[in-house]
Structure 1
Amino acid sequence: MKNKIFLYLFVFAALIALYQFVSTNNLQKALNKDISSLEAKVEKLEDSVQKSQLRILDIQYFSLENNDDALAYYDHLNLQDPVRYIEDKLLETNEQKGNNPLVPYDGMESDFKINKIKVLNHKWLLADFSDGKYWGDLVIKYELQDDLSVDFTLLDHLLYTRSN
């Protein structure tokens, strides 16, 4: 009888060990599958981040902030942020009553005002204008004087037409 109890205990312990082994093995396979899935997602995200960084570098290529040669023109003026200064001066032209004087069109819904500005270098900038319904783009030449005044000259313009 004592031998049968030890035999039953041994078989019971063997079954528990077998169950533990199988369930641990299944758990390990599931975890490995999850890890592989997460590694694939991380790789996709890394590729996406790298593409985004390259795109940002492309966008920043024509930008005064990243052009040391163009920024050197403003060293003697001791401006903290020449881009912001030029943008502010251009936006001040919106304060006049009526259309912005740099926009060569009459507003159809309201007055044309400059909305968005991209300073390309120490001589040119791009600007977007709109009256709320119609919009267009401007290419503007500017010159920052030693007295910190800015002269703006319209080089080219484009008004988008709506096709309904």
Structure 2
Amino acid sequence: MKQRIFMYLFVFAMLLVLFQFVNSKRVFEDMNQNIGDYKEQLQQYKDSLVSMQHDITDLSHFNFNRNEDAISYFENQGYNVSELVPVIKDELYKLNEVKGEHPIVPYAASEGKRMMINTIKLLNHKWIIADFTDGKYWGEMFLTYYINENQQIEFNVVESFLYPFD
């Protein structure tokens, strides 16, 4: 009787080991499949990150902050570039406060409104792109700028356009 109990225990233990082995193998294969999926997803994320970095580099090509020649131009004249860029933008925004028509926006505003410059992007040490609107009409303009002997910033509109109103 004792031998049968040991035999039944042995068979039961073997069945339990076999069940554990099959279950562990299935769990292990499932984990490997998940790891493979995660590695593939990680590679896609890395590829999209590289693609985005290339896009950022392309978009920032015409950007004052990444243009060493433009920065050197002002540094060679004795300006602190980190202080100068905000001053240039502020001077252009101050023109929004002038009474009457905007001094550099070449289009008249719609009735009861004023044209105002919204966004400014310095391209280099000579050029600026800006957009303007009065709330109904909007457009963009290409400006040149320079700092005269009196340390005053002068702006000159080279080209501008107004988007058609539908």
What TM-score do the two structures reach when normalised by structure 2?
Answer: 0.92
| Paired residues, number | 163
Matched, 1:122 2:97: no
The separation in 2 between residues aligned to 1:134 and 1:11, in whole angstroms, is 87
- 1:30 is displaced (CA, Å) by 1.1
Structural mapping, 1:6-25, within 5 Å: 6-25=6-25
CA contact (8 A) 2:132 2:139 kept: yes
The separation in 2 between residues aligned to 1:143 and 1:44, in whole angstroms, is 46
- 1:44 is displaced (CA, Å) by 1.2
In the alignment, what sits opposite 1:61? 61
Change (3 A) 1:146 1:52: farther
- 1:2 is displaced (CA, Å) by 1.3
In the alignment, what sits opposite 1:30? 30
Matched, 1:91 2:93: yes
Determine helix, strand or coil for the equivalent of 2:165: coil
- 1:51 is displaced (CA, Å) by 1.1
2:60 is aligned with what amino acid?
Q
The separation in 1 between residues aligned to 2:103 and 2:17, in whole angstroms, is 86
**Any stretches of 5+ residues in structure 2 without a counterpart?**
none
1:143 is aligned with what amino acid?
Y
The sequence identity of aligned pairs, in percent, is 39
1:133 is aligned with what amino acid?
K
Determine helix, strand or coil for the equivalent of 1:80: helix
Matched, 1:113 2:116: yes
Farther off after superposition, 118-127 or 28-37:
28-37
In the alignment, what sits opposite 1:3? 3
CA contact (8 A) 1:65 1:83 kept: no
- 1:33 is displaced (CA, Å) by 1.3
- 1:134 is displaced (CA, Å) by 1.6
**Any stretches of 5+ residues in structure 1 without a counterpart?**
none
The separation in 2 between residues aligned to 1:127 and 1:86, in whole angstroms, is 12
What TM-score do the two structures reach when normalised by structure 1?
Answer: 0.93
Task: Choose the corresponding residue for 2:154, options 151, 154, 161.
Answer: 151
- 1:145 is displaced (CA, Å) by 3.2
CA contact (8 A) 2:123 2:129 kept: yes
In the alignment, what sits opposite 2:40? 40
User: RMSD between aligned alpha carbons?
Assistant: 1.4
- 1:147 is displaced (CA, Å) by 4.2
- 1:41 is displaced (CA, Å) by 1.4
Change (3 A) 1:40 1:112: same
